[in-house]
Structure 1
Amino acid sequence: MATTKLNERQLAVLRRICDGEAPVTSNDSHLATTVYALRNRGLVATPRVGGRWSAELTEAGRQHLNQTDCTTHHPIPTAPVSPTKAEAAELITRLQQGDGTVRITDPAPGERARWRQILHTARADQLVPEGHHLRHTGRDRGDLVITLHPGSRPARSIPLDESVPVPDDLPPECLHPAAAQAPVPVCPDCLPRARRILHALCRAAEDNNYTVSIPASGSRASLVVTVADSAFPLFFHEGSYEAPDSSGAKYAWQRVTARTVHPSHQLELHLERTYPHPGRRSHWGDRQRWRLEDRLPNLFREITHRAHTEAERRQTRQRKEEETRQRWLAAMRQARTALVEDHRTKILRGQVQAWQEATAVRAYCDALEGQQNATAGTTHATRAWIDWARTYADRIDPALQSPELPEPPAATPENLRPHLHGWSPYEPKRA
């Protein structure tokens, strides 16, 4: 077992490998040197599967961590007590009975690790309801937010190899069709190399179930890589430099002021700088320490990252749109019910008012007849007035007309608008 003291970076990587929550693989190229140093000391192993390695803790590495933690009193991140199946089941119940979200405000490192183990147990023991999947944010800092989402867990792209092989020489007839037809704004000397790079990109993209195509007419891009519903144009560029142009000088002693531009033969590929991906790396090219061919895996990892980010944003947007649509549909149903109730209420109140008026008219007629009889008797003109009044009372009395449930009014947008409480009667949005 290695006894040499590890530095902080090596110890952190060793703990991460022990944790197992975020595996260390050949995709973590920035950790490769550290992993190799740990492997040379016998603390980790790097078995390969399909041309890719993943770091695994050896027994010597486990003993080294135990000795280190006993000496420094620094707990291994996975030291918290393993959660039970009951805790994982309780989490699922909380998510189902609530709004599908559980938030833990800025938990301590030990508690944060315990929640990660609970999530692992929920997935491993198949406690997640069928047709749903768990997500969480705040793995290492900030609030830990756990959410239960409908649908299957989004599939992540297959990791790429550590290199995207570019052939040293390739006949034009062997080029990928997209690489052969792509517009490449470079000098003739660099054109064969540029097409070989595009050929390697096309092959690597198709190996990972991506789609490559020629851009539409008018586009400055050389190639378009499509991942699911996201398209990423790739732009080729060749550097240049200025040099004095002595071709116009007649005499050797004449001062040369003219300048001419020459291609630098330094190639560069770049993605668009777009608003959804601020601050992300977008340019890869020839430098003193490396060539563009060496940076193609980095380019693909950036495309994969952007595609995954955009897919999550689309899912979030679609989920919000669906939630809005459901609220709008509920508001429309309530508005139709309210429209019918309001219509019936108005008719009923009108009938009650008419009935009250008819009853009052009849009572008035009875009082008028009694008054006339008590005096000199009812005159012909008074009798005619009383008869007309009684006829009028019968005509307006709804009780004599056997009223029925009225037909519902037309549910037109303008009729529904007063009952929608700010929703548009035409589409799922606020008016």
Structure 2
Amino acid sequence: MARTKLNKRQLDVLRRICHGDDPVTSDDCGLAVTVYALRNRGLATLTRANGSWTAAPTEAGRQHLAQTHPTSAPRPSASNSAAATEAAELITRLQQADGTLHITDPTPDERAHWRRTLHAARSDHLIPDGHHLRHTGRDKGDLVITLRPGSPTPRSTPADETVPVLDDLHPDHLHPAAAQAHIQVCPSCQPRARRILHALCSAVEDKNYTVSTPPTGSAGSLVITAADSSFPLFFNEGSDEVPDPSSVKYSWQRVTSRTTRPSHQLELSLEHSYAHLGRRYRWGDRQRWHLEDKLPALLREIAHRARTENERRLAQQRKEQETRQRWLVAMQQARTALVEDHRMKALRAQVQAWQQATAIRAYCDALEDHQDTTAGAAEAVTAWIAWARAHADGIDPVPQNSGLPDPPAITPEDLRPYLHGWSPYEPKRT
């Protein structure tokens, strides 16, 4: 077979598939088109399991890469490279750490490095007999590598899910939502479209989801609700552009105008949402399959979106609860600080009053020791001393046996200076 010329992106992806250090899987959704192009040219194959695929090279792909870039031929065995040494060290570390190695939030480059090390340990048969390697946190979170006794648990491949669409379904037996749905297809496709919606409604309810018709004025056909998340579903039909014979008056005129006509190719779609960016959202008739064949994929996508949105809600709830808890702690600390300041002010006022009363009494003693002996002056000084001593007794807090002052009346605004940026009214920053 003649060697097919590939562009740089295709060569890079083929090189990555052939080397196998960083497997190309359906998780790399941005590479799907390139992988399919390589598969169609016989340079790669796809192995499917659990709804995902992994690309593998064909012999033609390896030969193509070797002929295009001789220096990019398959790399030598990891046993002759530093990866083998690191893989052996990894096994030793796992054995010394009771079979578990925990790496806290590694960078993407570190994750890729650990994946290569794990691949080298498996490909070079460095794993002790009767044990297997597992790891979690491939793309996010902490990376946990475990060495466990026994054989790895094989992944169970679920049986092909189908959603049967009945060809002989009577219109009176349609699901109410399917019968009432607004479907933007031509009249000849209406019966088929409603049979598809009937099958979809039945499958949705089998999964304990709910299905309903959208509000009046909406362009959707159905609304599927799963795990408190609602997903509008749109039913459309494609169109073909064809010459428009009705645009000419005479038979000798050339037809230049074009018009559109229904293509009879049906399509179901979910909303194209930024919350699910990169996810597939349209399924329809193609040359190699019919829309009926893609209903299980549509249901799987709804289940995935429902799980994702539920996880986001739970994460948001946890975040809000944590924020509220921090706010409550800040409010309590603010009240404590305000009461403490209130007591300190009362204490300073009492000490100041006591010091003033003590000073007044000392002053009165000094006046008595140096008062004038003349009758008129003595009476005036005595009256002044008596008044001063009475005033000192009135302001002196000691005879009053002062205790803790009454707590102040606290308003939200009183707490604001003690909250360090928190709002005194609700759990948020100001």
Q: Which interval holds the TM-score relative to the shorter structure?
A: 0.5 to 0.7
Gaps of 5+ in 1: 1-7, 17-23, 38-67, 92-100, 115-134, 147-157
2:114 alignment partner, one of 109, 117, 121: 109
Query: Contact 1:221–1:235 at 8 Å: present in 2 too?
Result: yes
Alignment partner, residue 230 of structure 2: 231
* Superposed displacement of residue 393, structure 1: 1.0
Alignment partner, residue 188 of structure 1: 187
Identity %: 59
Alignment partner, residue 337 of structure 1: 336
* Superposed displacement of residue 253, structure 1: 2.7
| TM-score normalised over the length of structure 1 | 0.68
Alignment partner, residue 27 of structure 1: 50
Question: After the TM superposition, which of the residue ranges 189-198 and 370-379 deviates more from structure 2?
Answer: 370-379
Structure 2: distance between partners of 1:426 and 1:180: 51
Alignment partner, residue 359 of structure 2: 360
Residues 196-243 of structure 1 show CA distances to partners (whole Å, capped at 9, x for unaligned) of 111121122222222222112222111112220221111111122344
Distance 1:385 1:145, change over 3 A: farther
Structure 2: distance between partners of 1:190 and 1:374: 127
> RMSD of the TM alignment (CA)?
4.2
Query: Contact 1:104–1:145 at 8 Å: present in 2 too?
Result: yes
* Superposed displacement of residue 430, structure 1: 0.8
Alignment partner, residue 320 of structure 2: 321
Amino acid at match of 1:312: E
Structure 2: distance between partners of 1:173 and 1:195: 11
* Superposed displacement of residue 11, structure 1: 11
Q: Where do residues 242-281 of structure 1 align in structure 2 (5 Å cutoff)?
A: 242-247=241-246, 249-254=248-253, 259-281=258-280
Residues 350-378 of structure 1 show CA distances to partners (whole Å, capped at 9, x for unaligned) of 01111111111111111111111589895
Query: Contact 2:227–2:307 at 8 Å: present in 1 too?
Result: no
Amino acid at match of 2:173: C
Q: Where do residues 44-59 of structure 1 align in structure 2 (5 Å cutoff)?
A: none
Query: Contact 1:27–1:160 at 8 Å: present in 2 too?
Result: no
Alignment partner, residue 211 of structure 1: 210
Structure 1: distance between partners of 2:83 and 2:371: 111
Structure 2: distance between partners of 1:136 and 1:374: 101
Amino acid at match of 2:421: G
Distance 1:113 1:255, change over 3 A: closer
Q: How many residues align?
A: 348
Query: Contact 1:165–1:200 at 8 Å: present in 2 too?
Result: yes
Alignment partner, residue 95 of structure 1: none
Secondary structure, aligned partner of 2:194: helix
* Superposed displacement of residue 185, structure 1: 1.3
Residues 64-117 of structure 1 show CA distances to partners (whole Å, capped at 9, x for unaligned) of xxxx99999998xx99759579747997xxxxxxxxx94355254379759xxx
Secondary structure, aligned partner of 1:190: helix
Query: Contact 1:211–1:227 at 8 Å: present in 2 too?
Result: yes
Distance 1:179 1:342, change over 3 A: same
Structure 1: distance between partners of 2:422 and 2:225: 38
Structure 2: distance between partners of 1:162 and 1:403: 82
Query: Contact 2:83–2:117 at 8 Å: present in 1 too?
Result: no
Distance 1:236 1:259, change over 3 A: same
Structure 2: distance between partners of 1:344 and 1:171: 83
Secondary structure, aligned partner of 2:370: helix
